[in-house]
Amino acid sequence: MVNATTVLGVVLLARHGDRLEFFQDPFTYNPAQTVLTPLGSVQEQQLGTFLRSTYLDAESPRVIDGISADVVDIDQVAVRADAGGEGAVILVSVQGLLQGLFPPTTNNNITLANGTTVVAPLGGYQAIPVESVEPNEDISLEGFTSCPNFDNHINQFYASAPFLAEANVARPFLEKLHQYIGPNRSINFTNMVRPRRSAVVQLKLIADVCSPSRSTM
């Protein structure tokens, strides 16, 4: 019986896990390639485990009614992943999440005609189909790339008086970044509005250089 508190289904929007430095062109937002780190894989697996305890655990008040929680029923699950040009980060993140959501189980098996029971590899790993969504074919997950109106808006913003004024204020600080991120990386203010992740990650990875306890070599 369905009542007011019965969960019939859930739509989940999840972000990728930790990745290596990533840069999007400040004018077109076209992305560079990057990869998921081991930390990112762990984050996604933990997220999947949390979602499992929330929506697939029979003892949870938010369990999805009628869901197959042990062995996945692929007719009950639809998974889509943005493939917008930054490599396999999002697709790999999805796989990590699904490992936590539907972990390996020996119940994922088949009994052959000769009576032999075969369990899926890795202790019953569950392979769940993932639809790769290409933005040039489907804009539902990433609709701002290759969009003339978006490009015009960005160009107008970078040419505006308020932006140019802020760029002038930030210039002294940005000029000091070269010693930490290297002379070949741009310090143009346009790269800092949507923070240039390559610069941010690079600073995070070498933050100990700035520690007062370290001597200057």
- Residue 39 vs residue 202, higher pLDDT: 39
Indicate whether 109 belongs to any domain: yes
Lowest mean pLDDT among 12-26, 32-46, 69-83: 12-26
Residue 35 and residue 107 share a domain: yes
Residue 197: pLDDT over 70 = no
Pair 3, 51 in one domain? yes
pLDDT of residue 185: 75
The b-or-e profile of 45-76 (16+ CB within 10 A means b, else e) is bebbeebbeebbeeeeeebbeebebeebeeee
148 is a domain residue: no
Give the pLDDT band of residue 116 (cuts 50, 70, 90).
very high
Clarify whether residues 35 and 136 are in a common domain: yes
Among 142, 174, 201, the domain boundary falls at 142
Which of 142, 172, 202 represents a domain boundary (last residue)?
A: 142
Which of the 8 DSSP states describes residue 36? B
Considering the domain boundaries, does residue 152 fall inside one? no
Write down the mean pLDDT value for the chain: 83
Number of domains in the chain: 2
Q: Which domain holds residue 38?
A: 1-142
34 in any annotated domain: yes
At 123 the pLDDT is 95
CA distance between the termini of the chain? 72
pLDDT of residue 50: 97
Whichever domain contains 81, its CATH number is 3.40.50.1240
Statement to judge: residues 119 and 171 lie in one domain: no
Residue 209 has pLDDT above 80, yes or no: no
Q: How far apart are CA 59 and CA 31, in angstroms?
A: 43
Q: Read off the pTM.
A: 0.74
Stretch 150-176: mean pLDDT, rounded?
90
Whether 216 maps to a domain, the answer reads no
